[in-house]
Structures are given as structure tokens and as C-alpha cells.
Chains A and B, each alone.
Chain A
Amino acid sequence: MPSATVKPLTRAWTTADPLVEVSDLKVWFSVSSGVLQRTVGHVHAVDGVDLEIKTGETVGLVGESGCGKSTLGRAVIRLLEPTEGKIIFKGDDISHLRGERLRALRRDMAMIFQDPYASLDPRQTVGDIVGEPIDVHHLAKGKERQDRIQELLRVVGLNPRFVDRYPHEFSGGQRQRIGIARALAVEPSFIVCDEPISALDVSIQAQIINLLERLQSKFNLTYLFIAHDLSVVKHISNRIAVMYLGKIMEVAGGSQLYRRPRHPYTASLLSAIPIPDPVIELRRERTILQGDVASPINPPSGCRFRTRCPRAREHCAEEVPVLESFGDEHKAACFYPLD
């Protein structure tokens, strides 16, 4: 694969270069069994992913549970160490950074989590939660620190007077705002949003999506937006990557992907998503996929989707398809793509 040869830049990185370049990334987890807990296999959570994220864009990452999208997101900001492959961030290879250099990297990236209940320490006040990254990275002290916390709360639409309150005093949507304020505290350039709205009530989801969009243009942020809800991802993303069993099946701009999916998996994923309009639902054609996702411990040979694919032929079991260009930043990994 040509992109596996991606190398760290020898010249200075500029915003015209990709912010993140991932090449042939693999993240495996060992499965142990028996009294001696011997390794008996590996979960191929991410199994050879190439992805480029440009400065200032939002890349959406969609897929069903267990497809490896969260693992990929965590590896990209180095909450996990890759088993193989490279992650280049702002021109530097960060794949195996450790110690002080990894810590310094954390100032430039942040994560927003799915569960606003589990991701906030119930014994810390809002001020402590948002202030912690500021303290860890020695960004401000005393009055300046306080002002900064209050400003962060204001930016995410919370009353700065709430600084001494505890997470349980807030609703789900407000807690997610606290999580966003914490992510912004280090003034990162890159944020991985892992299912940031799926735990929220429908009427609150739009508030948080709009907030994320506003913050992006205000602070010039780059997002990797992970979600299973393709309608939300299409709304917020410039480009979308579709993952299945540890691999990216298709990458394209949102409308392009919706109008003209090339990979059969993308097509069936799109047709499975209900549209809130009875007139459209009535005349929609559905391709209902048979069966379940195969096991990531022992993924199918060749194309991983072939066991559920309506278009699969013999060849699909023999060779692994690679992402090929369909023009216009549209890529799909399929031997028998749709027209």
C-alpha cells in the first residue's frame, strides 16, 4: 500500500499539511485463557487503517459496535499505543512517544466522551474538573486560572457561577458541556469526540452539535467525530469514513457518500437508517443485511464484509481489497463496487 510509506516531515509542518496521518495502523488486544492466562488469540480491533485528517476539518467515523471506531479514536490521540503502523501528528511520528514528550503532546489534543455521567468525577466540583488540565500542564495559576475556568464555562454555555457545583447537580446535556469545557482547557487543536451525543435526549442533541460547530469555527479546531448515527455524522462532518471489523471500507464527503455509496456495506448501512418522514419511509427501498458482524478475533479471510455482502463472489474470500480512488476524495475498498 502506498500510504504505508508515509514519513514524518523533514521540513516544518504547516496548516496546509494534514494534521493527522494514520497509515496501516493496527491495534490488537490479546485474548488470554486458562489458568496460566496464556494468550490464545488477538482481537483485531483496528487492523490496517489509513486515514488523513486535514487541519480544520471534521472527519466522521461511523460503524457498528465493535467495528473498532473508538479504538481507532483512542489510538490516534495516543490513549492507546498502536501494535503496528504509524500516526503522524503535525509532521511528527507520535506512534510510540513516551514520558515527557507524550505529556507535551497531550496539550494539543483532547477527547470528549460518550457518557457524561461516567466521565466526570462525582467528587470534584466543576471548577476542579475543568481546572485539572490547566494544573497538570501548568497553564495558569491563581486568579488567572479562575478567570480561565469561568471563561471556559461561559464559552460552552454554562453559567460561570456554577463553578463550585458538583456533576450530579446538572442534567445530561449540561454535563456534556462540562466535558467539552474540560477538553478545551488545554487549548487543543485536535479533539476526538467519541459518541458525544448518543447518551443525550433527542431535544438536547442539537444544542450540543451546534455548540461543537460553533467552537470549531471559533477556535479553529479539527475533529474526529465518532458516532453510530450516520444522520448526525453526515450533518457535522466534511468527510466520512465507514468502518467495518477493524478496517475502513469507504471514505467520502458526506453528500457524496449518501448519494452515491460505492461499498455495499455503506449502501446497506444507509438504507438501514430510518428517516423521520413517513412519506419517504414508505417508498424507500431497503436492503436488509442478513446475519451479524463476524468476530474480530478471527475475522473472515479476504474482505471482512463478504459474509454478509449481497454482492460477494469467490474472489472476495481470497484477497483483501484495498481502498481505491473513485475520484473527488472518494475511496472504497471493494472488488465489486456499486455504480
Chain B
Amino acid sequence: MTQPLLEVQDLHTVFSTKEGWVKAVDGVSFELHPGETLGIVGESGCGKSVTALSIMRLQRPGLIKSGHVMFKGDDLTKATEDEMRDVRGKEIAMIFQDPMTSLNPVFRTGWQVAEPLRLHHGWNAKKSLTSAINMLGRVGIPSATERAEDYPHQFSGGMRQRVMIAMGLTTTPEVLIADEPTTALDVTIQAQILDLLRHVNQEFGTATILITHNLGVVAGMCKRIIVMYAGRIVEAGPTADVFAHPKHPYTWALLRSIPRLDAERHEPLKPIEGLPPNLVDLPGGCAFHPRCAFKIEKCSRDVPALQRVGDTQLSACWVTQAGTELKGA
């Protein structure tokens, strides 16, 4: 195995609320290897976005309570704000769900895409703009030279996301974090953007963390995935294995609950009963146990750690760690 490019170790990020401290990220550890595309899936509030923001140290008003983010030998949680500014946009780039609110409406698009080059490489306006136009063309924006003169509102949603990706790539970062990059887009435009991300990964060798709630998207994009629930990783492993033999009841139930386009017969869906977890008031033990069909007594008492189950997967579940297969009607 190659040396990991990015290593998140036992990360804890908390938020202060009226009702007390909320553990948005509660002991998350994973590695990202050079050139790979890693998927992080989970529902709203599971901590997937806060994990990404914590890597970039953009988690405020949240607080990184403990843990390390090792990137090329440095611990980013200990880096100064100046050092972080060097990392952001230059070595680790991030693109967000809503490309409209992430672009500045009063600056021309080309100027904004060129900004990382002026900032990080100290290039002049002309040189950086030429490079930005080149990048806009490479991410599939037609007549890039002319479009660079336009303002963000003159672009469609899909085109804006391409602009964001171009901006992220100008400095050829080693890591690209894409947080729900296609959620605000229509499916045919989503397909275009996912295709572009695949292409970027191959052409530039950029390691990508793809954060999404859409299991279909990770199935087609990522070799390895992490499943999060209530601030913790509940399962991790090669995508093919996790989908074929989920080792955590949450993953198992989630996969059964979604309707599939290729379903042959009409069968009633098998929903996950109960409500999504309330982070302010988490149940004791495993956070999923109130909704779990396999729970045993221990589950409401002790929090299971993420451990190897089977040959390739990790699961935080007492039941599968004890060797039980997940099966059901």
C-alpha cells in the first residue's frame, strides 16, 4: 500500500448550541491515497460535511476538539491561519453544493478562476487569466475566452459548477474535496459533472473525496466508501464489497430502502423505521440501535468501535463483529 496522502485521525468536531455541545464529528479516522476517489455517504446531519470542513479548517463556528489531520507530514489541525491559507486552494481544493453562493457575483468569472494563481503563485493578471481560460476550456466551457468575461449569473447551474471545478484545479491541487457537487443540479447535468470529475481524476491524478447522500453516485464514482451516521463512521470498505455484503445494519437497511430504476417487479419498499438521530440527544450505545432490526442488548449500552469484519470491510456493529450475517425478509 502506498503512503496515504491525507490521514484523518480520531477527529472530534463539536458545535455549541443552546441545548449543549453537539458532537458533529465524533472520532472519525480515515486515509486518502494518491489518485483515489473516496466516497463519504450519509444523510443530513451525519457529519460528512463537517468532516470535510474540518480538514480545511473551515469548521467555524464549530471547534476541533481533538484529533489530527496529517497532510504531507504536517498536522493541519496545528497549522497557523497563514499556513492554512497556503494549503487551501493550492494543495487541497474544495467545491460546494451550491455554485451560485460560492462565486462572487460582482467579479468576472475569469478573474475569479485566476485568483488562486495570483494568490498562491504570485502570477500577474494577464498570465493568470490566460491559464484560467485554458482551464475553463478543459472543464468543458465552450468559447472559454469569451465566457471568462461573463459574470457568474450569466452561467447555468451546471456551467457554474464547471467554473468552480476549474477554479479548484488551476493550481493543480493534490486533493479535491467535492461536497454534494451535483445535488443542486438536474440529472442530465449531474451526469455531465460526474463525468468531468472522473476525467479530472484520470487526467490530473487528483485524489478526490466525494461527499454525497446519493448511493447511486458513489456506486459509479468511488472504489472505496465510508458510511457515516450520527457523527461516526459506521462502515468503510471497497464500494463493491460494501454494496454486495454490507456489514453494518444501517448500510444494509439503507440499500434496501431505496427504489431502484432497474427493479424488475413492484415490491413495497422496506423503509428504515423511526426518525433520523437527534445529535443533541443521542441514544446511549450505538446511535443506530433504536432503528436497528438486529440489535442485541449490548447495543444500547456500549458504543461499538470500527473494526475489521470480513476480509476487506470495517464495521462499527456488535452484531456483525460477532459474526452474524445480515439477512432479512
Report A's interface with B, CB cutoff 8 A: 64-65, 171, 173-174, 201-207, 209-210, 213, 228, 230-232, 234-236, 255, 258, 268-282, 284, 286, 288-290, 292-293
Contacts and interface: CB of A to CB of B under 8 A. Distances in A.
Given A202-B43, A203-B253, 19 more contacts: A174-B275, A203-B271, A204-B272, A205-B258, A209-B259, A210-B268, A228-B186, A228-B187, A231-B216, A235-B266, A236-B259, A255-B264, A272-B190, A272-B191, A276-B219, A277-B260, A279-B243, A288-B195, A292-B159
Contact of B275 (A171, A205, A268, A278): A171
Contacts of A255: 264
A235 B276 contact: no
Contact of A210 (B186, B192, B263, B269): B269
Contacts, number: 137
A203 B243 CA distance: 16
Contacts of B258: 202, 205-206, 231, 276
B191 A286 contact: yes
Contact of A235 (B220, B243, B269, B273): B269
Given A201-B44, A289-B191, A232 B259 contact: yes
B275 A230 contact: no
B220 to A, nearest CB: 4
A274 B243 CA distance: 14
Contacts of A280: 219, 262
Interface in B129-160: 156, 158-159
Given A171-B276, A286-B191, A258 B262 contact: yes
Given A207-B271, A288-B191, A278 B263 contact: no
A274 B219 contact: yes
A206 B260 contact: no
B219 A277 contact: yes
A273 B259 contact: no
A293 B159 CA distance: 12
B192 A288 contact: yes
B109 interface: no
A235 B44 CA distance: 24
B16 interface: no
B239 interface: yes
Contact of B269 (A209, A282, A286): A209
B102 interface: no
Given A268-B188, A274-B214, A277-B243, A230 B273 contact: no
A275 B261 contact: yes
A206 B271 contact: yes
Question: Which 8 pairs of residues, A with B, have the shortest CB-CB distance?
Answer: A274-B216, A206-B271, A235-B259, A281-B220, A272-B191, A64-B186, A276-B215, A206-B269
B220 A274 contact: yes
A276 B276 contact: no
A276 B194 CA distance: 15
Interface in B51-89: none
